[in-house]
Each structure stands twice: as structure tokens, then as C-alpha cells.
A = this chain, B = another copy of it.
């Protein structure tokens, strides 16, 4: 992390500047609610055009590091602990952020013809095969969730048990092996009660309340990639989100 702008770097200048400013915020050089230098001052300091300055600030505003007040200035957001939450995360990334050790037991990995409802959500024609993965998700060794994924892949694309055991993160396999980058998802949450089978796998009593999440994941080209259903133990999981107007 440099403290000046390298005009020949591979990364854009606005991105370099955003990194510099973010660092100043995170390291406390600029206190929450205090103003950062004005756009005209930053022009002088970093020898950049106001266009570039504004692009960098715009990014940090969108990520919640800064906020603007017309006529007054640009200020540091007082955003305690959770920076960069609100983002789309995989189960394992999510758990790491909560300070837990992620783990999993893969119950099955096969090719199936899913229900019409799931085919329709994945925008596949009737009779298409998808890759189904059933897993028990662990946090610090104890069961937290029951996850069933349906993944729409190309004809000669295949996820193997070796892939899963080597990496642990489905998102990483998607990006590294197939160049599919998850960018957006629609998610619904509701409550249900554990069936005896679910209760056994999650090591709870049948009828205990569960948080049911259904998520449809989209690639960079907005193609549905994964339909995933997760049953979380109600007593061990809290869902967190950040909303913007």
C-alpha cells in the first residue's frame, strides 16, 4: 500500500486513491464525523483531476466509509465494527467473519433432475441435469446448518468430490475452475420447524425452530448459477444484513 499515486500502475488511479483514503479511515488518521480534505484540496495533494477524486470518493461513499453533505464537506462514517458486511458472502466466508471455524460434512454429491420449480428458477429446460450437493455445515465443530445446493453447469463442466474436499468453498471452485463469479443473489428467509431427520442431522430436538434461507445466485452475466436452501439452527444462528435507501 503506497502513499502516492503511481501513474504507470496497472490499477486505475481512482482505485489507488480510494485505497489510500480507506487506509487513513481504517487506521484512524481521520476520526469519525470529521471532514476529509475538500475535493479541490485533494486535487492539489495528489495531483489528480477532480473527476478522479470524485470517482474514488464515490466508491468509498457507496461502501459506507464516507458520507457527503452538500455545501459542508465529506465526512468519515462512524461505522463501528461491521465494515463490508451487507456483501454477498458464501457460508464459509460468513462464518469466518463471525470468528468461527467453518467445517462441513458432505452427505452427497450427484447429478439429478431437480423439481420443475427449481428448474424454472435456474432457467433450465425441463429434464436438464444439475449438480446437487448436500452438506452439513459446521461452526467450530458443531452443526449450524443443513445446506442443499443445485448448481447449473455447462455440458462438460463437472464438480467432483475431490474439488469440494480440496477447497471447501463452492464459490472458489466456481470462480477458479469455471470462471463463474457470483455477483448478486435474491434471498428469502422464513421460519420452519425441524423434521425428525433434520433434527437428527443438526443434533437438536424435532420441532425445534429453524431459519430457512432460500437463495438464488447469479453470475456476472446475470445468469442463475446456484439455487441453495439452508436450514439454520435457530439457537445458533443470527442473520445479519445492511440496508440502504
Query: Interface of A with B (CB < 8 Å)?
Result: 33, 62, 64, 67, 69, 77-79, 82, 86-88, 181-193, 209-211, 220-222, 234, 237-245
Tell me how far the C-beta of A74 lies from the nearest C-beta in chain B, rounded to whole angstroms.
12
A239 touches B67 (CB 8 A): no
Identify which of B191, B210, B241 contacts A210 (C-beta below 8 A): B191
A69 contacts across to B, CB distance below 8 A: 221
Q: List 9 A-B contacts (CB under 8 A).
A: A67-B220, A87-B245, A181-B245, A187-B241, A189-B211, A189-B240, A190-B234, A191-B211, A209-B209
B210 touches A242 (CB 8 A): no
A185 CA to B244 CA, complexed, in Å: 7
Tell me how far the C-beta of A117 lies from the nearest C-beta in chain B, rounded to whole angstroms.
14
Identify which of B88, B242, B245 contacts A186 (C-beta below 8 A): B242
A192 CA to B238 CA, complexed, in Å: 11
Extra 10 A-B pairs, beta carbons < 8 Å, given A188-B241, A192-B209 = A67-B220, A88-B245, A183-B244, A184-B242, A184-B244, A186-B243, A187-B241, A190-B211, A191-B211, A241-B241
A184 CA to B83 CA, complexed, in Å: 13
Tell me how far the C-beta of A53 lies from the nearest C-beta in chain B, rounded to whole angstroms.
15
A186 contacts across to B, CB distance below 8 A: 82, 240-243
A78 contacts across to B, CB distance below 8 A: 222
